[in-house]
Amino acid sequence: MIRFYIFLRTFGRTMRVLIINTSERTGGAAVAAHRLMEALNNNGVKVKMLVRDKETNHLSVVALPKSWRLHWNFLWERFCVWLHLHLRRPHLFDIDIANTGTDITKLREFQEADVIHLHWVNQGMLSLRNIRKILDSGKHVVWTMHDIWPATAICHLTLDCRRFETTCQQCRLLPGGGSANDLSTKVWHRKQQMLEGQRITFVACSRWLSEEARKSALLKGQTITSVPNPIDTRLYHPLGKQKAREELGLPTDGRLILFVSQRATNPYKGMQYLEEACQWLVRQYPDMIKNTHIAILGGHAEEVTSQLPFESHPLGYVNNEQQIVKVYNAADVFVLPSLSENLPNTIMEAMACGIPSIGFRIGGIPEEIDHLENGYVADYRDAVDLAKGIRWALDEADTEAVRKACLKKVARHYSQQSVAMHYIEVYEAALRPKEMKKN
């Protein structure tokens, strides 16, 4: 805290930050932004959160003024994307063009803030024109990247595409693979115009994403750093396994594999690889079928259970965090076979409960999982290696040593205080040049 108090004495008052995110609690970015707000407020910064979709009575969270335009903005952008997709639904929510949104610069919360901290602002929250107006206001802007969208034209997942390193065009998400002057190219140029002559501090939630962002021609010359998301270890912590299972109605005997996704059928979350891994385990170790269960937390969970060889328990979508903590604590291992990830909150949540995680070597997952210490990093898209990781966690690893390694990693890197201090340094760096000029 010493650096922050020096900062306060230098500039004479408590720093005010406005966090902006489309939703208050729905989605990984919303959860991370909400946690950051609480972490900063608990560490001496005055923070409010501005959202389109307010879901709680939290006093520090402010909703956009109610208007018919809020819903219309969302529908209009989706309609425009749908037209460019030739009236087809695939990729309808994989693309964001930010062609409509709300001007927030006249709001009292905006005018009082020293730092405007953007997070996930898609689906009608802010347009590119709105963001340019924020930049033109002279406010210091920090933008946390929860995915690659700020560094590309229209996509949130690049997968194997590297066009953002030069100019987005011939987009794989558009019909026929796009063209040399397709929607992605047009939005790319609009983003260039938005950023022209402006400075933003971009913060990636993982070192992997920060390296990807630095390769983007769109962000050339911008400040890019990395700070992980925080987690409240007062809420996410180890509980009794047996009691958690009893309260959730899960089997109290045997081992439990956990899969978590907002939508279990999302192909990018890799359920198909978990299915293949479990089938391989049954073939190699037939006795596992007698004492191994799978719990699936997320929407549409009941749609995937029939493909799994182990007794499965669909828990559905849950947004009560106390219940979610119980789910993690009921498990013996958490598996996230995602095909693309930044720094998943779910792995952090599992580890904070002392539960080892298994995931592919992709994105920021290897930064969270220390291989064979607090979990297992499997080769990308390799279901057999994923299965070996599950086997390691259930039958080979020292359970107590792994539990301690999980808790140590979370305390050192993802605690509220640790992440808040990192962000205070980011804000300080963004604010100091202009404040020093005034003096």
In tens, the pLDDT along 130-187 reads 999 999 999 999 999 999 999 999 999 998 899 999 999 999 999 998 899 999 999 9
Spatial CA neighbour of 100 closest among 72, 59, 119: 72
Sites in the chain below the pLDDT cut of 50:
1-2, 5-10, 435-439
Cβ-proximal residues to 335 (8 Å cutoff; 6+ apart), any chain: 257, 258, 259, 274, 277, 357, 358, 359, 386, 389, 390
Q: How many CB atoms lie within 10 A of CB 316?
A: 12
Q: What per-residue confidence (pLDDT) applies to 11?
A: 52
Tokens 């998301």 sit on residue: 229
Rounded Cα gap, residues 374 and 351, in angstroms = 8
Spatial CA neighbour of 365 closest among 379, 382, 385, 384: 379
Residue 383 CA from chain centroid, whole number: 24
Calculate the dihedral angle through the C-alpha atoms of 382, 384, 390, 395, rounding to the nearest 10 degrees: -150
Q: What per-residue confidence (pLDDT) applies to 437?
A: 43
Query: Per the structure block, which two tokens stand in for 411?
Result: 């305390």
Instruction: Judge contact between 31 and 49, C-beta under 8 A.
Output: no
Q: What per-residue confidence (pLDDT) applies to 319?
A: 84
Spatial CA neighbour of 36 closest among 402, 418, 295: 418
Query: Per the structure block, which two tokens stand in for 219?
Result: 């962000």
Residue 304 CA from chain centroid, whole number: 23
Ramachandran angles phi, psi of 143, nearest 5°: -130, 110
Q: What per-residue confidence (pLDDT) applies to 10?
A: 42
Rg of the chain taking only CA atoms, in angstroms: 22
Angle at 80 between CA 79 and CA 85, to 5 degrees: 95
Q: What per-residue confidence (pLDDT) applies to 422?
A: 95
Query: CA-CA distances (angstroms) from residue 426 to 21, 138, 306, 409, 410?
Result: 19, 17, 48, 22, 21
**Checking DSSP bridges between strand 357-360 and strand 201-204, what pairing results, if any?**
unpaired
